[in-house]
């Protein structure tokens, strides 16, 4: 595996020739089409097949998996074009493995809203151990509130593709804000907690979910112990029924870190209370904030180092963003940046003939461009090089895996890199 940085004058044809791979594979693993321009400075993922197999006759995925001794999901991971073009005809050549040593096993999680495009979700599922649906809520009496969009279709698709669906419970209100009055009322009402747990169990059973993810943000500082007690109670009950429980943690770098987002998130207590934790290591650069990397590696590393001092490494999932932001310059406080996918960012750079730069400290790409009205912009995003740095951190620290926010948009390079470097836990 390699990361290639595009130089002036290079094309997908010249780059494919340089590494002796097909143009089709280069495009596939980077989520590109033959019509896409390349930007100078764009980082491309290069995967070198080690073992391939040419079909001697027409077949189907199940029969092929048995024939080559791989699971259907492994075949789909090694050949992502099979998701959209599953015709297995005589003469078609498939990849069975890559020339990259595996570095161990990772748990991979993808978050999405129930209205995620079935096509986008289906392309992600072979690479996901778990698929988490955002979000269920609850009222002060402990009544469970389902998402506005029916989640049955997304859950069923995950089940069909061998990915465990996870129900996410949050304090997010109808106004799009996290409500700590709601969490506080729940913590002080044992009867409401009991009702909520029973309704969660009923929904998990009815819809076929495999576990729960708790995401209570901006919890009041005085509810710090009560929050950990609640997570412990939920975990004990759900574990008895065979369900796992994960809790999302704000990105802290030390125990006494001030701020409403951080104070009630007791890493040690919550790490003990739940079966696993997600570090929400993103949103340093955010919609209404000043321009910067969304998940600068130097800051992410600080959070991971603190988490490891409080929580067993195998319990920790690293949060990875699947998006970037486009800010208008000069930045004015209160103005909103535009969210865009990594693929949209690189296409924009190519369209504007912008050179993509790379911040070594943040390990993140960015570029400047001028819009049609003469306004300057800066875009920070994720690309194969920045994602590879995050995978390096996971491997270095021996973390349990990662969770992607979100898989509402394609993430071909992240998933292809993960599959080449690690065994994905099914």
With bands split at pLDDT 50, 70 and 90, how would you rate the model's confidence at 8? very high
pTM of the full structure: 0.97
Residues 17 and 112 in one domain: no
Give the model confidence (pLDDT) of 32-57 as tens digits: 999 999 999 999 999 999 999 999 99
Q: Is the pLDDT of residue 389 over 90?
A: yes
Give the model confidence (pLDDT) of 115-151 as tens digits: 999 999 999 999 999 999 999 999 999 999 999 999 9
Q: Is the pLDDT of residue 401 over 90?
A: yes
Q: Does residue 335 fall inside a structural domain?
A: no
pLDDT at 33: 94
With bands split at pLDDT 50, 70 and 90, how would you rate the model's confidence at 13? very high
Residues 185 and 297 in one domain: yes
With bands split at pLDDT 50, 70 and 90, how would you rate the model's confidence at 228? very high
With bands split at pLDDT 50, 70 and 90, how would you rate the model's confidence at 335? very high
Cα end-to-end span (Å), the chain:
23
Q: Does residue 376 fall inside a structural domain?
A: no
Which of 34, 68, 98 terminates a domain? The answer is: 98
- Domain with residue 14: its CATH number is 3.10.350.10
With bands split at pLDDT 50, 70 and 90, how would you rate the model's confidence at 84? confident
Residues 40 and 17 in one domain: yes
Spell out where 266-323 has E strands.
Answer: 276-279, 316-321
Q: Does residue 70 fall inside a structural domain?
A: yes
pLDDT at 218: 97
Q: Is the pLDDT of residue 372 over 90?
A: yes
Which of 98, 131, 156 terminates a domain? The answer is: 98
Torsion of CA 396, 401, 406, 410, to 10 degrees: 80
Q: Does residue 28 fall inside a structural domain?
A: yes
Q: Does residue 15 fall inside a structural domain?
A: yes
Give the model confidence (pLDDT) of 263-283 as tens digits: 999 999 999 999 999 999 999
- Domain with residue 312: its CATH number is 3.20.20.80
For residue 323, CA distances in Å to 132, 164, 229, 368, 383 come to 18, 24, 34, 17, 10
Catalytic site positions: 217
211-215 and 244-249 strand pairing = parallel
Rg (CA), the chain: 22
Residues 282 and 148 in one domain: yes
Which of 33, 48, 63 terminates a domain? The answer is: 48
Give the structural domain span for 56.
Answer: 51-98
Closest CA to 358 of 6, 1, 2: 6
Highest mean pLDDT among 83-97, 175-189, 218-232: 218-232
Q: Which residues pair with 359 in a beta bridge?
A: 364
With bands split at pLDDT 50, 70 and 90, how would you rate the model's confidence at 175? confident
**Hey, how many other C-beta atoms are within 10 angstroms of the C-beta on 343?**
20
Residues with Cβ < 8 Å from 60, sequence gap 6 or more? 88
Residues 34 and 176 in one domain: no
Residues 217 and 88 in one domain: no
Residues 144 and 199 in one domain: yes
Q: Is the pLDDT of residue 346 over 80?
A: yes
pLDDT at 157: 98
Rounded to an integer, the average pLDDT of 364-393 is 98
Residues 212 and 278 in one domain: yes
Q: Distance (Å, rounded) from C-alpha 245 to C-alpha 274? A: 6
Residues 122 and 204 in one domain: yes
**Hey, how many other C-beta atoms are within 10 angstroms of the C-beta on 275?**
16
Residues 70 and 151 in one domain: no
- The answer to whether the CB of 151 falls within 8 A of the CB of 186 is no
Residues 236 and 195 in one domain: yes
Q: Does residue 348 fall inside a structural domain?
A: no
- The answer to whether the CB of 85 falls within 8 A of the CB of 123 is no
Q: Is the pLDDT of residue 174 over 80?
A: no
The total number of structural domains that make up the chain: 3
Q: Does residue 372 fall inside a structural domain?
A: no
Q: Does residue 74 fall inside a structural domain?
A: yes
Q: Distance (Å, rounded) from C-alpha 144 to C-alpha 157? A: 23
Residues 92 and 111 in one domain: no
């Amino acid at each position: 595996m390699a990361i290639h940085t595009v130089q002036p004058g290079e094309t997908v044809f010249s780059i494919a020739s340089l590494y002796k791979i097909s143009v089709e594979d280069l495009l596939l693993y980077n989520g590109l089409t033959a019509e896409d321009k390349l930007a100078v400075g764009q980082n491309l993922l290069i995967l070198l097949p080690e073992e391939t197999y040419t079909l001697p006759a027409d077949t189907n995925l199940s029969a092929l998996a048995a024939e080559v001794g791989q699971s259907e999901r492994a075949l789909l991971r090694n050949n992502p074009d099979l998701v959209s073009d599953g015709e297995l005809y005589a003469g078609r050549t498939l990849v069975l493995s890559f020339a990259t040593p595996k570095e161990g096993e990772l748990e991979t999680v993808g978050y999405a809203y129930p209205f995620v495009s079935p096509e986008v979700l289906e392309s992600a599922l072979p690479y996901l151990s778990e698929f988490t649906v955002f979000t269920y809520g609850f009222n002060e009496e402990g009544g469970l509130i389902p998402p506005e969009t029916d989640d049955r279709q997304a859950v069923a698709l995950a089940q069909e593709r061998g990915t465990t669906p996870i129900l996410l419970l949050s304090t997010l209100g109808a106004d799009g804000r996290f409500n700590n009055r709601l969490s506080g009322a729940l913590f002080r009402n044992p009867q409401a907690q009991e009702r909520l747990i029973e309704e969660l169990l009923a929904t998990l059973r009815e819809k076929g979910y495999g576990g729960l993810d708790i995401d209570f943000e901006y919890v009041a500082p005085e509810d710090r112990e009560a929050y950990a007690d609640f997570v412990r109670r939920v975990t004990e009950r759900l574990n008895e029924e065979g369900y796992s429980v994960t809790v999302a943690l704000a990105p802290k770098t030390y125990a006494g870190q001030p701020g409403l987002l951080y104070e009630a998130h007791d890493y040690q207590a919550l790490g003990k209370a739940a079966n696993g934790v997600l570090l929400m290591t993103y949103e340093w650069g955010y919609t209404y904030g000043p321009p910067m990397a969304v998940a600068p590696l130097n800051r992410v590393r600080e959070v991971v180092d603190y988490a490891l001092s409080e929580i067993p490494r195998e319990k920790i999932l690293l949060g990875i963003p699947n998006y970037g932001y486009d800010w208008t310059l000069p930045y004015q406080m209160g103005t909103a940046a535009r969210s865009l996918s990594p693929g949209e960012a690189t296409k924009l750079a190519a369209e504007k003939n912008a050179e993509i730069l790379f911040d070594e400290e943040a390990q993140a790409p960015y570029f400047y461009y001028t819009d049609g009205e003469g306004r300057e912009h800066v875009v920070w995003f994720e690309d194969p090089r920045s994602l590879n740095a995050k995978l390096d951190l996971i491997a270095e620290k021996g973390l349990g895996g990662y969770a992607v926010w979100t898989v509402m948009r394609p993430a071909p390079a992240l998933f292809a890199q993960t599959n080449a470097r690690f065994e994905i836990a099914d």
